[in-house]
Structure 1
């Protein structure tokens, strides 16, 4: 029997160094195809934005020292390289999530139709954004980004210094790196109220909330019953609830 390949793997790292590299070079043919695919994407989802992102270029082989993460500044349209290159040659993403405990379980949300992954259930979070020129991407900036995503998606404001890195995952296909932070516990009623208020305020401004529905799960199996989930979700929840 062939071994079952899991979508992500957990990386054990006590110290992480994020080192910036130039983005991968594109041939003229690749650049033309990337632009064409982006125009097709915009035609289906006019609200999508070609914003900056942190692309993962891989990690150095594990050794006795810090885990070295190689990253580059790119934009969302370059995710199309995943359709043009073999998986091992296409850059992945660096993203953050927040595990937010409540008395009813961890908070999860369903991505709205205007997002890059509509209808998919995930932890609050998103793709990391590169720092301003001259500034470093480090764990402090990733922690700050995670806190900002929590506020933008659920309306829950947590001090970034209260978030601690709970786990690091790497996608089996493109090598995307997920930095998963654990937040202090809050009441589920507060999360429901803040998300409802956020939905109203976003709608009044003519925007669509990033999460069109939220739920609370106390097991990976319960989350699977909600529907399609992020590739990391089942494994992260299994590990969280087992500990």
Structure 2
């Protein structure tokens, strides 16, 4: 359900502008695109969650860490759990040009608000998840094949809507990612994921090296618990 954004004071607006300019100076690849911000998440019944959200741009997020002018602005994002046919899970490392360089996570991204006459519903989230998987990993899956898997809310209030795609051979996924990287670099663009890996367990998350998204260990554990017992082996 869409709601109006909070009204910022003049001081908060000035702090947001300064903070965004500093962030862009440190990472010129950042862009002030449209985004969905969580204003509330309520469980209506065992099968229904009501998300209240408002429209903003990425610069609002710099106020989350401002010691004087802080504004709670939880993000709303989707991810895709892409399993392999031997029971592993595809993860990627965010490139240096992104807002979270070096962080390991599932393919995905923050939600963009719909057009004014459109609805932010589950079908829209499925389409967004499918697009993120194609753009970041080069693997194309029909939106209708995205299974809602889990909804999480982190310590900072960020809401993650996690989907699961049909299993695919790891070799095919690696080939598709390699082709995507080549195509992006040929056009002078930097891929959002600078590396991918295939993991089975929470122990494999620790073995990746570098930070990981806060939700990743929990989702990997959930994936591991749902695997058939005969899938064995390590990450690659």
TM-score by length of 2: 0.90
Match of 2:117 in 1: 134
Kindly indicate whether the alpha-carbon contact (under 8 Å) linking 1:30 and 1:84 is maintained by their aligned counterparts in 2: no
C-alpha deviation, 1:60, in angstroms: 2.8
Instruction: Map residues 105-116 of structure 1 onto 2, 5 A cutoff.
Output: 105-116=88-99
Other-structure match for 1:202? 184
CA distance in 2, matches of 1:74, 1:221: 37
In the alignment of these two chains, the number of paired residues is 223
2:137 maps to which of 127, 150, 154: 154
Query: Does residue 52 of the first structure (1) align with residue 34 of the second (2)?
Result: yes
Residue in structure 2 matched with residue 3 of structure 1 by the alignment: none
Alpha carbons 1:93, 1:127 under 8 Å: kept:
yes
| RCO comparison, higher one (Cα < 8 Å, 6+) | 1
Q: Give yes or no for the alignment of 1:80 onto 2:73.
A: no
Q: Given that residues 151 and 157 in structure 1 are in contact (C-alpha distance below 8 angstroms), is that contact kept between their aligned partners in structure 2?
A: yes
> Is 1:178 equivalent to 2:160 in the alignment?
yes
CA contact (8 A) 1:165 1:182 kept: yes
Q: Decide whether aligned partners of structure 1 residues 40 and 107 sit closer, same or farther in structure 2, where only a CA change above 3 A counts.
A: same
Match of 1:15 in 2: none
- Post-superposition shift, 1:67? 2.0
- In the alignment, the residues of structure 1 paired with residue 182 and residue 116 of structure 2 have an alpha-carbon distance, to the nearest angstrom, of 35
1:228-243 equivalence runs, <5 A: 228-243=211-226
* Distance in 2 of aligned mates of 1:185 and 1:159: 13
In 2 relative to 1, CA 66–104 (structure 1 residues): closer, same or farther, beyond 3 Å?
Answer: closer
Structure 1 segments (4+ residues) deviating >6 Å: none
Query: Can you list the C-alpha shifts for 1:118-137, whole angstroms capped at 9, x where unaligned?
Result: 00000000001111111110
Give the conservation status (yes or no) of the 8 Å contact 2:19–2:63: no
CA distance in 1, matches of 2:62, 2:4: 18
1:21: which partner in 2?
Answer: 3
Alignment pair present for 1:124 and 2:138: no
Stretches of structure 1 that go unaligned for 5 or more consecutive residues are: 1-18
Structure 2 unaligned blocks of 5 or more: 227-236
